[in-house]
Amino acid sequence: MFICFAEYRIRPECREQYEQETERLMKETGEGMRLYEGTDQPCLFVEVWSASCAEEAERIKKERRSERSSWAVLSQWIDGGEAKLHIWTFKPAHVSSS
């Protein structure tokens, strides 16, 4: 299992629009993605996208960054714009050799 991890800060004055849009997007996306907000840093959000392999995680990463992505609408509310949208792929740190 791999994950694609997107992190960004939403401008506080845009929070209501952001919440409405992410609620809609998450219904469309289904269970393959979870959205979290920082407890110590309000308006700091992370998206955690599940992927079965590295290739799928890279596809998610590329799609999430694409202007044609339905999620691209969120960039207008990111503090600092799209340049402040950070996306990484993670893999398991320890793999059992059983």
CATH label of the domain that carries residue 23: 3.30.70.100
Burial of 97 (0-12, 13-18, 19+ CB in 10 A): exposed
In a domain, 96, yes or no: no
Question: CA-to-CA distance for 40 and 61, rounded, in angstroms?
Answer: 26
Tokens coding 12? 């506080």
| pLDDT value at residue 87 | 96
Phi, psi of 12 (to 5 degrees): -55, -35
Regarding pTM above 0.95, the answer is no
In a domain, 95, yes or no: no
Contact 89, 5 (CB under 8 A): yes
| pLDDT value at residue 96 | 63
Contact 59, 53 (CB under 8 A): no
In a domain, 97, yes or no: no
Domain that holds residue 74: 2-90
In a domain, 98, yes or no: no
Query: In this structure, which amino acid lies at residue 52?
Result: S
**How many domains in the chain?**
1
In a domain, 23, yes or no: yes
Burial of 31 (0-12, 13-18, 19+ CB in 10 A): exposed
Give yes or no for residue 97 having a pLDDT over 90: no
Give yes or no for residue 46 having a pLDDT over 50: yes
Give yes or no for residue 95 having a pLDDT over 80: no
